Amino acid sequence: MQLVVLLVLAIGAALGVTKLVRSYIRLAGIPGPWLAAHTDLWRFRAQNSQGYAGRLVLLHRQHGKLLRIGPNHVTVSDPNAVSIVYSMNPVWRKGPSYYGATTVSQGRVLPSIIAMEEAQHTAVRRTVGRAFATTSLLDYESYIDHSAAEFVRVVGKLQSADIGLWLQFFAMDVLMRIGFSETPGFMQKGGDVDGILGAVIDRFDHWGRWGAMPTMDYVLNKGPLASMLKGKTDSPLARVGAAKFHARKTALNPPDLADLCQKFLEGRAKHPDALNHDEILGIILSTIGAGADTTAGTLTYTLFFLAKHPHCREKLQAEIDAGLQDGTLSNPPKWGEVYKLPYLEAVLKESMRIFPIASWGLDRIVPEGGVTLAGTFIPPGTVVACQIDAIHRDTEVYGLDSEDFRPERWIEADEEQKRRMDRAFLAFSSGKRVCTGVHIAWLEMKKTLPLIMMNFNLELVDPKQDISKGIRASAVKYPPPVWVKIVKRQDGPVPS
């Protein structure tokens, strides 16, 4: 009997070693940390460490355009790879790291629009795609205006504040209104409400913590064993969202609203076999969760950059003030007035170029037949991601001063260079699976940044602050507290 046990153990060990050797050999020509070639533990530890994105940039500079960060995982810093990895046809499947973005509600995993497989995502676009189209933006403008008036009123009473925290409250109010036409009132309270914002942050933290080990995430957090040990629980966001969604879908007289919930229910009524109710709820919750902290973080970084670069702030202020003076800009600004302001767009793009909100690359799986990237053949089944921070700093695309915040590069470039810059710009991903809420994000940011500058002058409490030193590790780059002195502009009307 002992001999049989020893034989089984020996066979198991031999198979394990064989698998490790095969895994190592198939990508042996791609450099990277030694441990990463043998186990995902290197990536698990690195992703949960401070400055992971910056570390990958340095490793790419050391090793070249291709970097091995796992037994079956490669990152690419070649801008020419973007159109291949995020191709429109064929569409590469998303990598397993996206499983970390899914939410558990009452023992079941709710689909996330971020993590959906291609067939499911196509069904979403067919059923409720119009809710995210540019033609729907005007339906959401009033929700932003309502929150904007409250932001100006509340923040205007403060002499100083962590502007990033108040932008989180603002963004949560905006997204809850866009989702369900009402909000529990984050700005009114000046804090979290019922743990909803905390749940959004926890979702990104969970994704960041477990993205490198989706199988362990399933076993320990989302599978039957986890449900048995932890019970069937809900996050506060899932609980509130489920209650609002159930009330809306069972209402005898559907309300005359243009929010996401109503658009989704109307879309499902037209295509009842395309999406179930769990999928609709999951999409709404992931839109709120993904949209709130990402836009708040981007606006925080942008205001920091403007405070650090007074000449850029003055140029943007001049663009906004000129619009107010000649009547082409309202307070609060309308989408039709701000969406084409050239320096506003350049400032936001430059901020997202320097600090893209995603903490790591957007994983895709190499399809059948393999692919050649940066002159090297990558076998099928390999997980590949374009390293956003490294590509956004590519000197051939963005210039020798690519490390600097200089919005003018987006205006000065000729048409060919602009196309190259836009093709390499990954703040909202790229290709068919570009961020579903990209138009809503632009709507919110292009309305909010001018609104703040119309009404306030903001100065850093600590002019020497280095924001890059305090970025918190998560699935997104959470900025550290950015304390600003708040002075109301006497020459700028405050929205009522």
435 is in an annotated binding site: yes
Cβ contacts of residue 407 below 8 Å, gap of 6+? 312, 315, 343, 346, 347, 349, 350
CA-based end-to-end distance of the chain: 84
Burial 78-95 (b: 16+ CB within 10 A, else e): bbbbbebbbbeeebbbbb
Residue 463's Cα: distance from chain center in Å? 28
- Six token digits for residue 380: 């099928």
Query: DSSP string spanning 356-369?
Result: -SBSS---EE--TT
Pairwise CA distance, residues 492 & 373, whole Å: 52
Residue 352: closest CA among 394, 396, 416, 294:
294
**Which among 437, 476, 355, 367 has a CA at the least distance from the CA of 100?**
476
Instruction: Measure the CA–CA gap between 235 and 226, rounded to whole angstroms.
Output: 15
CB atoms closer than 10 angstroms to residue 393: 18
Binding-site residues from annotation for heme: 435
Binding-site residues from annotation: 435
